[in-house]
Amino acid sequence: MNGFALGVEQEEWCGRLRALAADRLRPLADKGEPGRVNRPLLAALGELGLLERVFTSGALELCLLRESLAYGCTEAETALALQGLGAHPVLSSGTPEQRARWLPEVRAGRAVAAFALSEPGAGSDAAALALEAVRDAGGGWRLGGEKCWISNAPEADFYTVFARTGEGPAAKGVTAFLVPADRPGLSGEPLDMLSPHPIGRLSFDGVPVGPQDLLGEPGRGFRVAMDTLNLFRPSVGAFAVGMARAALDATLAYTAARRAFGGVLGDLQAVGHRVAEMATRTEAARLLVYAAAGAYDAGSPDVPRRSAMAKLLATETAQYVVDHAVQLHGAVALQRGHLLEHLYREVRAPRIYEGASEVQRTIIAKELYR
C-alpha cells in the first residue's frame, strides 16, 4: 500500500472477504438470535482462519479484515472483533499458561472472550472504575462490584477484567485479571440494546482471583486496557467505513434505478450532490483509518492521536452516510430486514463504545497540546 491506495493483492483479498461474508457468513448470522452469542458463526470464523488473522495481523490488515467483513455481514465482523478485544490482553500481557489455555480456543471459535472495562459509573471516564480487588489471606484478591455494557456478557467463557487494587490514585491503581466465567461469585444478565450483538451486566460477589490470573503487573492494568484500545480504535473506524461503503453502494444502485419525476433519482442535482458528499466523506474516513493503522504498525509515537482521529471521523461519517442513505431510499429503507434498517441500528453504537466521540476529541486535544 502507498499513501493513497491499496495494492492489487490487498484489493483482491478484500474482495474475497466481502464475498465470503455475504455468501458463507451472512446465512449463519441470519440464523442467530439478536442479543445472543452466535457460536456457529464464531466456529465458522475459526474454521476459515479469520480469527487467527486477528492475532497475527498488523493494524492495517486488521482494518482491512474488519472493513471487508462489515461490508457483507456486520454480525460476523462484530463477533470477530469482540474475540480480538477480549483476548488481546491475554496475547500481549498473559502468562504462557494463560495463552496456552485460552488463545487456541479463541482462535478456533470455541471459547468466547470479553473485555470488561466499563461500569455503571465509569463509562467514558474509564479511570474512575470502582470494581474493587481486595487482598485476601491467601495472597490473592476478591473482586467486588459490577461491570456494565460488556459485549459478549454474560455468555463469554472468560473475561479480561479491570479492577481497582489501590497501588495509586485513578489509573495508577488498576490491575487487569483473566477471570473464567465459572468462578464462584460471578453472575450476569443480558441487556436489551439497540444494536443486535450481545451486551450484558456482570456482578462480582467476592470472586476469587490469584497471582496466576494477573494480566501484566499489579497497578499496570490501565496500560493494558489503553494498549488494547489503541490497536482496536482504528479498526472500529474500519468497521464504520465498511458500513458506510455498503450504504453508499446500496444508495448508488437504488438512485440509479428508481424512477421519479420523469427520470431516475440520480439525475436530480440534489440527489447527486448528496451522494457525492457521502462518497467524499467515506473516502476521507477510509484514508484516515489506513493512516492511523499504518502509524501503529510503524511504531509511531503519535498513535493515540491518530487512532482517536480515525475512530472519531469514521464513526461520525458512517452515521452521516447511513442516515442520508435511508433518506434517499425513503420508506423502503425503514422496513425490518432491509439492509439500511439493519445498518441504521448498527451504526449508532460505535460512536459511543471504545471511547465516545467526545472522549476522542479530548484525546486529540491533549495530544496536540502535549
CB contact set of 53 (below 8 Å; sequence gap of 6+):
61, 62, 65
Task: Report the percent of the chain where pLDDT is more than 90.
Answer: 86
Stretch 174-197: mean pLDDT:
94
Please give the grid coordinates belonging to residue 255: 438512485
pLDDT tens string 82-93: 999 999 999 999
pLDDT tens string 26-45: 999 999 999 999 999 999 99
8 A C-beta contact, residue 65 and residue 79 = no
pLDDT of residue 133: 94
Sign of dihedral through CA atoms 57, 15, 238, 159?
Answer: negative
CATH topology of domain 113-219: Butyryl-CoA Dehydrogenase, subunit A; domain 2 (2.40.110)
Q: Report the half-sphere exposure of 338 (CA within 13 A, side-chain side).
A: 18
Stretch 72-77: mean pLDDT:
96
pLDDT of residue 195: 81
pLDDT of residue 340: 97
pLDDT of residue 6: 85
Gyration radius of the chain over CA positions? 21
* Mean pLDDT, the chain, whole residue set: 94
The pLDDT-based confidence of 160 (bands split at 50, 70, 90) is very high
The pLDDT-based confidence of 4 (bands split at 50, 70, 90) is low
pLDDT tens string 120-142: 987 667 677 889 999 998 889 99
8 A C-beta contact, residue 122 and residue 167 = no
> Rounded CA gap, 238 and 231, in Å?
12
Which residues in 287-312 are b (16+ Cβ under 10 Å) and which e? Answer: bbbbbbbbbbeeeeeebbbbbbbbbb
Residue type, 329: H
pLDDT tens string 86-118: 999 999 999 999 999 999 999 999 999 999 999
**Residues linked to residue 115 through DSSP beta bridges, in sequence order:** 160
For 223-369, CATH gives 1.20.140.10
> Rounded CA gap, 328 and 271, in Å?
7
Q: Report the half-sphere exposure of 222 (CA within 13 A, side-chain side).
A: 17
Q: Pick the closest to residue 214 from 328, 127, 154, 133 (CA basis).
A: 133
pLDDT tens string 231-250: 888 899 999 999 999 999 99
342 torsion bin: left (phi>0), alpha (psi -120 to 50), beta (else): alpha
Q: Domain ranges in the chain? A: 8-108, 113-219, 223-369
Residue type, 34: P
Q: How much is the pTM?
A: 0.93
pLDDT of residue 238: 97
> Rounded CA gap, 205 and 195, in Å?
29
pLDDT of residue 3: 59
Catalytic residue set: 354
Write down the CATH superfamily of domain 8-108: Acyl-CoA dehydrogenase/oxidase, N-terminal domain (1.10.540.10)
pLDDT tens string 298-352: 999 999 999 999 999 999 999 999 999 999 999 999 999 999 999 999 999 999 9
Cα dihedral 85/160/200/118 (nearest 10): -90
